[in-house]
Structures are given as structure tokens and as C-alpha cells.
Amino acid sequence: MARMGSAAGRNKSVKRSLGPLHAVIQQSKVLMVGAGGIGCELLKNLVLTGFGEVHIVDLDTIDLSNLNRQFLFGRQHIKKSKALVAKETASKFNPNVSLVAYHANIKDSQFNVEWFRGFDIVFNALDNLDARRHVNQMCLAANVPLVESGTTGFNGQVQVIAKGVTECYDCTTKPVPKSFPVCTIRSTPSQPIHCIVWAKSYLFNELFGASEDDSAEFDHSEDAENGITSCVAVKAQEIKNLRQEAAELKRIRETMGQPEFAENIFEKVFNKDIIRLAEMKDMWKTRKAPNPLSFKYISAEIEDKAVPTSDQKIWTLAENYLVFADSLDRLSKRILEDKKAGKDVILSFDKDDEDTLDFVAASANIRSHIFGIATQSKFDIKQMAGNIIPAIATTNAITAGLCVTQAFKVLKKKLSDARMVFLSMSGDRGLTTESLRPPNPSCQVCGVARLDFECDTKATTLEEFKEKVLQGVFGYSESISLIHEKLIYDEDYDDNLASSFAQLGIKDGSFLTVIDESDDDADRRVNFIFQIKERPQGESDTPFVTPTRFEIPKRPAQPPSLDSLVLTGKDHSSNGTIPSKDGEVSRKRKADDELTGDNEHEPHKKVKAANDVIVIDDGFIEID
Amino acid sequence: MSVLGAPTAKEKKYDRQLRLWGAGGQEALERAHILLINATAAGTETLKNLVLPGIGRFTIIDDAVVKDEDLGSNFFLDDSSIGLPRAKKACELLCELNPDVQGDYIDDNITNLIQSSPEKLEDFTTIIVTGDVPVSTILSLDSLLYPTDIPVFVLKCVGFTMTCRLALSEHTIVESHPESTVDLRLLKPFAELVALYEEKAANMDDKEKMSTHDHGHIPYVIILLKALDDWRSTHNGNVPSNYREKNEFKSFLRGKMWNADEENFEEAIAAVLPYFNPPSIPSATREIFEDEKCDKLVSGSSDFWIIARAIKEFTYNMNDGLLPLPGALPDMKAESKDYIRLQNVYKSKARTDLASVMGVVRTLLPGLGRDPNSISESDVETFCKHAGYAKLLRGRSLKDEYEDSPKVKTISNELSDPTSLIHYYLGLRAYEMFISEESNSGHVPPGTEDSTAESDAEKLDQYVKMLLDKLNITHSAELLEGTSKAVREIVRVGGGELHNISSLAGGLVAQEIIKVITKQYIPMNNTVVFDGISSRSQVYEL
């Protein structure tokens, strides 16, 4: 057994490189959110640089497709917690660093503002918009600097966020989730992605999963900001027809396991429904009508043909049918076996579950064939259906290295030296480095006032809070709205005044936002967020600690136009990287896709194609 | 249960990268055998980023034993490694990253290997030099390898600073992954495209014969072709060629709109600037066509040059000076059936062009002593699609940089800019001279001892001046202020590595190596300098 390395020897280089900063780093306590591609690199960097205490939070488990870059994991770790395994592996490389891992969601209530305050710096190594925004918000609330980073393929970026000094993550608009009108998906597809969404979010769910009405992929809201066009002109009759079709499919679902199951489904969705659709002459005045496919025709085609084995080659119609029937069989068996065992009998689409992917790929291609749309290889369908972003070790290594150089500036308290760094494939430069920009005064996330509010949530009523705190201390008028997750009070909605905070779901760690609705623009103050801290009321106590008055800034008169922000190239996709030519591919023929007809405004539904944005890079569609 | 058409476990593991460089790129990686000279932190980090995506093999040559301070910067050495050969221990830990990769080590130093068996170097497909290797050894490697087309990457990483130099005499890239390969041929439409627009746009200006709906759905390519036709008839047969005329043409298009919200016309207007360029052969492609290797094919010519030659012949002899059509069509406002028809016109022209090029390839091959079918149609197709984006890099040897033809102008221009990263380049050249001194047989880095740090720095200052004198670059204390600062920064760390910088360097270098091995994307040519204090990088051709 060789002797142990001495701490002095180990630290020799890093001490010389960093000088006095090294002692600060050894004393520091940092949080790393996400232990994936960037996370593995970052943790290795933090451990070897000698950061004193590193906390790791990740909800995810390890998958085979992680192993081409997430080097703290091996095959033996598949399905285990990323956070716990990362801690285990990395701790061997520096005994002087203490690591704490949580296999948990960063949005859990245990990770409250108080907890965030315990860190000197936070690193985001995440892969989704929602968690990024959450951590951004928490760091602002706790006033802890955040190093935000992200990668997509060869592109990456690092940004330092410090409350009141720099832009926050939400100071610039982020691309919104891509979605399609339901009529495009159900009636008038014109692109492969429409058929893939149909197969994944409609057909698959109707047969094996939660059906349309319960599915999260279907967006019922009318949020116009999402850039979704609705089917304004869908006739009442057509909505009724679509519901009818779904109901019929549910009945066929009951015949699962019977020999004619595949035939029944095929006849229904690729023949009967299409015939009905093709009969709607109005719809096909300006586009090519679909051609129904009969089961009889397809069964004659498949004689002696073998099920295809390549996922990169584009399958023929007959091959698609073979995969369709075969995967349907595999999925049915799974459902029936589960049913026998008395288990939950719902399947959900998973890009890494071959049975579900085969079914979606084959069904999407058969539908494309019917509508005269180009069919795709399974490899490409996987990318589109599974929201796959290319990811490689090199980009993560560069990005994580930059995160640490930026953290040095933060810990040295030299924010003015911190930079925003982009990396891209361009062969002439490598990195692009820019100064950090000041906060956007109109930002709804960082351009606000904040206050820790200590109270007994069971004893504090909304009315008391409004009168004694908002009006009494801060001088608000009656023209305000209060928001906690949803609107809980405004001038015309006073139903909750008598309720306690607890009854309204406001608890320790909750945020309660006050919006000034005064008529006079010049007088309106920025949003005011009360960060709730539970303080049980003692015998002679008041229900809450009355805060001291302070001046809440006025809202900026002229919010800068969002366009000007976007044009400077500071708009990042949810994976944190440089802007995409988002969604252009699928929106161009949108108007054409809308059903024509009278102007009867029916409640319309929207289908979300993906959980997040679509990025087009060199012909690949990447969806986070 | 057998899963049909299922990707193998390997394909699943590499799925996220296959989406960047495809099966062809992956095969190239798997054929690679990489030599790492010295298992420094930056060196092992580079290998890590190559082992993870699955190169075939690697070998580490290093005669150092593992010391305490290695553990502070090198992730691929642990406590149990202390006192043991660094090559062996790093190899072991790197092998754990990916069971599909074979790792070997040689417990020796590169200078010995070059003397004893230089032929062994030709077993490798790529060579990475790191650590404190003397100039003479680097130049010997260069003289052995530069003529063989084996790429050599020289990586220097000290404290917050790094440089990486690629020495490779010739590098050809077909799949450069441009943002778009769209070529609409608006100014030189082919016959089928002419026929289509004459049919579809005949009544574009006739409200009697065309409905408002149809007018709002004419694909913008058709609108532009028809409008160009009209323009020519009133402009002596000329097309709008300069900025002013293009703007006039835009107004002309606007005049053809029937109402203000015709999206297809807006698209047409937006396409005028990007797509109204007279068809020409990009200079990078012309360089390929004009290269001697394209003109003088020999039996050993690579497929790249044979296909390039076929495309050249097609372009000049069969296609009126136009490259083969890539065939891609951007999305646009149109009725689906019209869009598909237009798409088919472009696609079928691309197929016809491909068939012609393929024909030339087949006639060329027998003359080179090869089977006429020994180049696959898919390779020719890929080249045809990228004909306007292919690239030839002619590199410079280290001997060129150090002795034969140094880039005097680049260096002297940069020198006057105090924020230029050339100061770090010069600092590291001086560092290299310091460790190469004959009296410094152990290649001890400057600044190793605190007590001699300042005198070491002054020595480096002298080396910088010697270097500039040799290049006949005039210098002054003022000009050398930046260099002097860089020198002190380099000396301060005594040759030590800072892990996050080494890790970043390992990412940058591995990325360049992957580009070179897969022959996809355009590598940085030929020196990248990174400064971790300002987080900036710069690329120089030196």
C-alpha cells in the first residue's frame, strides 16, 4: 500500500495559482444543482480545486445514454441516484472536501430561502428551464450569487448572476415551449413532427396511457404568449367528431389481447377516421386530401417480409406496418401482464423504451404516408419525439471549467471582472467573452422589492395583513392584487379576506406577491414579494412581526422593448445556450393548417409537441 | 424478448454524440489510436474526453512517478498512485471510464523513444504533446510526423494559461456542418424550375384569373422568379445586382402584393438580400479545385480528391460553371401540395446532378487502377451536398513556425495591443526555452523555487527579447509590458497546473482532435491561446 498524499503537497499548485483566494475557497460552502453532464465536470473541478463543502442536488437517476460524458458514473450505476453516486465517486479524489448529496427535487420545500442563504455561491448545472428559473428566484431571494451554465451540442455558455448587480436569468425572455394547434395534429398534419406528436400524445395515450383529457401534453390554456395559434375556425361539428373518434378508440382499447386488436386499431385510425376526414371537402380545398389505408391492402403487402432491424434507414410502408403490429403486441402483453398482477395499467411514452418508441415511430410514419408527408427513420423520430439534445464531454468540460473561473471572481468579490462566456463551433475564435449586463429594470423576477415576513400562518389573516402591513406600514391604496400561486385578492375579489395564510396554502418558505394596481403610472411601485417565515405565535405575541417601513421603488416609466434585448443575442434556449432558430420550421404553413369554415369560436385545445423548445441545428431537430 | 430494430447498447451509450457526428464520425473515432506524451492534468483530461466518446485505443508515454502535487490537479491519479509510474496509473484510471477502449502505457520518455525506435510513432493516428518537453524533442517529432499526415497537437498548460498548436500538413473536410446548404438558384434557374414558375405564376398579377387565396399562397421562390422575369424585361435583361437595385426590387415586389398581410410576399422580400447572389463558386471550394492534388490524380489519391475532381469536371464541363445542387429547400408559406412539388423539383435536380458526378467518378477510377464502384454513392452524395462548403486546410509545420518562416507580421501587429493574448504565447515560448536549456537537464520549470522566481522571470524576459530579435521585430519596454506581465503570471505558478484550467484545456483540445479525426466541422487553424484570468481565447495562424 502506497502512502497517502499529504495535503500540503496536494495543494501546492492550486495554492500558488490562486494565492490568498485559496484560503477563501477552502472555507467556502457551495451548492451545485444538477449532477449530469456539466455537473460531473463541475464537481470534479470543485473537489480538486479544494472547495471546502459542496452540496449536490439532483432528482435524476443514471441512464446508459449518460455514460458518453457523465464520467462519475459507470454501467454498474444505471438506475441509481446521480447525486449519490457522484458524491461517492468524487469524494475519493480529495479527502479534504466534504460532500453532501440529496437525491431530491430542488423545488422541494426543504430547500427554502433560509437553506439557500447558507451557501457562498450556487452553481446551476441543469437541463431545464423550470428548475433554472426556480433556482434563479431562490438565489435572488436569498441574495446568493449564482453561476448559471448550459450546453447544447458544441455550444455552451456561462453567466454570473448577482442580485441587483447583474442581469438575472429572467431579465431576458426565454424561448417558450413549442406547441401545435390541435386541429393540425388531429386533422391536417403537414409535417413529420405533426404525425409524431399525434402518435405519441394522442394514439399512444388513448391506447396505453392516460387519455387525452388527462394528459399534460395537451394544453387547455389560452396563453397567447406561447405563440400557439389556436384553431379559431374549427366547427362545432368537427370538435364533436374528434371526441367521438376518441371514444371509439377507447372501446377498441377494451379488446386488447384479442387476435384482431391490431386490425381493429389499424382499420379505425388509418382507414375509417381518414375516410371521414377526407369527406370534409371544405378542408381539402387548398390541400391534398389524405388517402385511407385498408387493413386488407396492408396485409397483402407484408407477405414474407421481415421486420426491419435498422433504425437509421427509412422503413417502407410494409415495414412500418410490421413494426406497428409487433410493437402493439409487445405493449399489449405488458399491459395485460400488469393487469393480471393487479398493477397500474398505464404506460407512458419513453424515448428509451424500445416498445413505446417502435410504436410511435411506426404509427407516425403510417400516418405520414396517408397524408403524403415524408417518412422518417426511427433514429430521427426518437430525437423529435424524445426531445433529445446532443451532448458531449468536451463542451461540458469547457463550460464547467469556465464556471469555476467565474466563481473565482465572485468569491474574490470582483464581480466587475466576471464575464458572460459563450462557446460555439466557430473555428476562428473559440470563446466569446462579454461583460455582464446590469439588471433589466422591468424584470418581474429581480426588479422587485423583497422582505422576509415573520408570522404565524395560522393566526395571520389576509385582511389583517392587507390593512396593517400593506396599508398601515407601506401605505398601499386599495388598488392592489395579491398573488400566491394564483390570484388570492384584488379590489373585485375579496372572498379570501377572512382566511388565514395557512388556509390559503401560504406556509413557511412561500412567496406572496403584491402588485400595485394604482391608476397613475408614475406612482405605481414595483412588485413586492413577501418571503414568509413561520414564527409560531406565543401567548402574548402578535400574529406577525410588523416590518419597518422602507421605500419601494417606482416602476420604470418605459420598459425597454423586449426586441432590443433579444436582438443582442442574449436569448437562451432552455438548455441554457445560444438562441435557436426556434420553431421556424413548423410554423410557416400554419395559417394554411387551420381549418377553414365559419367563425364560430369554439373552445380550442392546443397540443404541446414537447416539454420545451425546438432548436434546429443543421437539419436536426432538437427538443429539450 | 428480442427487440426489433433496437439500437445496440453501444449505439444507446453514444446516442447523444451520434446526433452530432453520425455513424461515420463514430467509426473514425473507433479506428483512432492516440498517443499522449506525458500524463499531466491537461493531458489526462484531454484523453478523458476522447475515451468517453469511444476512441479505439490510446497509449500514454511518461517516465514520471506520481507525486503529491499531481493529486491536486490530476483527477486520474489517486492516493494509492503515489510513487508509482504516472503512465501506468493514469492509464488504469482512464480505462475505467469506458470498457470499449483499449489503453496502454510506456514507462519511458519521448526523447528516448524518438532515438530508439522512431518508426513506432507511425502506429498512432494522432499525437498529443503535453508537459515539459524540450524544444529539440518537439521539433524532432515534427520532422518525423509532419510529412506523414499524422496530426500533432502541442498543448501547454501552466496555471491560468494555455496554448494548443495543431501541426498537420493537409486536412480535408466535406461535412463542415454549415448552418444551411440552401441554394435556390434564383438568378440561374434550371429548366424544370423555369417550367414550374411559368406555370404557377402565370396569373400572379391578374386578379381576374387568380383568387386572393391562391395569390397569398404562391411559394416565395416562385414569386421571386416571376418578379425577376418582369424586372429583366424593363432593365435590359439585367437582374438587380447592387444594394440599391435590390432595395428597388423589394419595392417592386411590394407593389405586387394584393393586400398588406400576404406573408408569402413578405418572405419573398426578406429573401432578396440573402439569396440574390450571382451563382459563384466559394473561394474555399475553388481552392480545392485549383489544388495540384485535384488536377493530378494518382493511384494513391484519397477518395476526397477523386470526388473533388469529378465535381470540378461536372461543374465546368457539364453544368455551366455551377456546383451540383444541394437540393435543400427552406420552409415557406404555401399550400402543402405546391410546397411538395417545388421541393421535388429541387430534389430531382439534385439527384440528376449526383448521377452525373457519380458517372465521372466511375470513369476516373479505372484510370487510377481502382474498381469503378469502389467509391460509394452515399459518399459522393455527401460531397455534392457540401460542394460549396467543403474545405481544405494546408497547415504549417512547427519548423515553419520556429525556424523556416515565422509569422513575423502577425506577432508584431499583435504586440502593440496590450490586451492581445499573443503576450501569453510569447511567455510560453520563453517558458519552453527555459526548460530546454542545456544546463536545465531535469527540465525544471521557472518559478519552482520562490527564492529564484524573480530572476527566473527576468530570464524569461531575456528569452522573449532574443526571440523577437531573431524575428527582427523591434521592441521596447513599453511594447513588452503585456509580455512581461504574462511572464510573471506564468512564473508565479512554478509550472503547476490549476485543475479547472487543465480541464477546460482538455475539453478544447479534445474537441479539436475529434474534429480532425472525424473530418467533420472546421478545426481551429492552428494555434489557440486561452487566458483563464480574463476568460478569453484567440486563434492565430502561426
- Which amino acid is residue A365, in one-letter code? N
Of the candidates A550, A572, A590, the residue with the CA atom closest to the CA atom of residue A185: A590
Residue in A6, A14, A390 nearest the CB of B17: A390
pLDDT at A578 over 60: no
Report the alpha-carbon distance of residue B52 to residue B96 in Å, rounded: 10
Who contacts B22 (Cβ-Cβ below 8 Å, separation ≥6)? none
- Tens of pLDDT, residue by residue over B467-520, are 999 999 999 999 999 999 999 999 999 989 999 999 999 999 999 999 999 999
In B239-335, which ranges are continuous DSSP H helix? 243-254, 263-275, 283-290, 292-295, 303-313
| pLDDT, position B15 | 87
Q: What does the alpha-carbon distance between residue B356 and residue B311 come to, in Å, rounded to a whole number?
A: 9
Helix axes A354-370, A378-386, angle to 10 degrees: 100
Question: Confidence band (pLDDT; 50, 70, 90) for A611?
Answer: very low
Confidence of residue B279 (pLDDT cuts 50, 70, 90): confident
Name which of A189-198, B42-51, B106-115 the model is least confident about: A189-198
Cross-chain Cβ contact B506/A397 below 8 Å: yes
Does residue A139 have an active-site annotation?
Answer: no
Catalytic residue selected from A40, A139, A183, A455: A183
Which residues, numbered 187 to 206 in chain A, qualify as contacts with chain B under a Cβ-Cβ cut-off of 8 Å?
A: 190
Q: Which residues of A touch B530 (CB under 8 A)?
A: 430-431
Whole-angstrom Cα distance, residue A445 to residue A133?
Answer: 9
Binding region of A for ATP:
34-39, 58, 66-69, 82, 127-132
Are B536 and A433 an interchain contact pair (Cβ–Cβ within 8 Å)? yes
Provide, as residue numbers in chain B, all residues whose Cβ is less than 8 Å from the Cβ of A308: 4-5
Q: Quick check: B510 contacting A, CB < 8 Å?
A: yes
Touching A: B residues 38-57, CB under 8 Å? 45, 48-49, 52-54
Asked if A420 contacts A150 with a C-beta cutoff of 8 angstroms, the reply is no
Contact A431, A161 (CB under 8 A): no
Helix (H) or strand (E) holding A401: helix A393-411
A387 dihedral zone (left: phi>0; alpha: psi -120 to 50; beta): left
C-alpha cell at A394: 468536451
- Quote the strand ranges of A13-52, DSSP E: 29-33
B/e letters for B303-328, b = 16+ CB within 10 Å, e = fewer, are: bbbbbbbbbbbbbeeebeebbbbbbb
Q: Are A360 and A199 in contact (CB under 8 A)?
A: yes
Q: Is the pLDDT of residue B261 over 70?
A: yes
pLDDT score for A251: 86
What Rg, from alpha-carbon coordinates, does chain B have?
Answer: 29
pLDDT for residue A568 is more than 60 = no
pTM across the whole model: 0.84
Q: Are strands A179-181 and A606-608 parallel, antiparallel or unpaired?
A: antiparallel
Torsion over CA of B200, B203, B204 and B207, rounded to 10 degrees?
A: -140
Q: How far is B318 from chain A (nearest CA, A)?
A: 29
Using CA atoms of A346, A351, A356, A362 in order, give the dihedral in degrees to the nearest 10. Answer: 140
Reported confidence tier of residue A211, pLDDT bands at 50, 70, 90: low
Contact list in B for residue A359 (CB cut-off 8 A) is none
Per the prediction, chain A carries an average pLDDT of: 81
**CB within 8 Å: B16 and A44:** no
pLDDT digits (tens, 9 = 90+) for A472-495: 999 999 999 999 988 999 999 999
Nearest to B507 by CA among A399, A531, A624, A541: A399
Q: Above 80 in pLDDT, residue A622?
A: no
B473-510 as b/e, with b when 16 or more CB fall inside 10 Å? Answer: bebeeebbebbbebbbbbbbbbbbbbbbbbbbbbbbbb
For residue B15, list chain A residues with Cβ-Cβ distance below 8 A.
65, 68, 382, 388
A263 in reach of chain B (CB within 8 A): no
pLDDT at residue A139, as a whole number: 97
Whether the per-residue pLDDT at A210 is higher than 70: the answer is no
Q: Do B535 and A323 touch (CB under 8 A)?
A: no
Closest partner CB to B49 (pick from A13, A93, A394)? A394
Q: Which of B44, B42, B163 is nearest to A430 (CA)?
A: B163
> Strand B57-61 relative to strand B33-37: parallel, antiparallel, unpaired?
parallel
* CA gap A261, A271 in Å, rounded: 15
- Interval A44-80: pLDDT, tens: 999 999 999 999 999 999 988 899 999 999 999 999 9
Helices and strands, counts by H and E, chain B: 23, 10
Residue located via cell numbers 468569491: A411
pLDDT for A598: 36
C-alpha cell at B302: 484519397
Domains recognised in chain A with CATH numbers? 2-174+391-435 (3.40.50.720), 180-385 (1.10.10.520), 449-623 (3.10.290.20)
Rounded to whole angstroms, how far apart are CA atoms A205 and A199? 8
Terminal Cα-to-Cα distance of chain B (whole angstroms): 58
Q: B 137-196 residues with CB below 8 A of A?
A: 159-160, 177-179
d(CA A448, CA A292): 57
Residue corresponding to grid cell 432558430: A581
CA A517 – CA B357 distance, rounded (Å): 70
Residues 6+ apart with CB under 8 A from A397: A41, B45, B48, B49, B503, B504, B506, B507, B510
| pLDDT, tens only, B413-448 | 999 999 999 999 999 999 999 999 989 988 999 999
- How far A2 CA lies from chain B's nearest CA (Å)? 5
Instruction: Characterize A213-226 residue by residue with b for buried, 16 or more Cβ atoms within 10 angstroms of its Cβ, and e for exposed.
Output: eebebbbeeeeeee
Whole-angstrom Cα distance, residue B434 to residue B156? 14
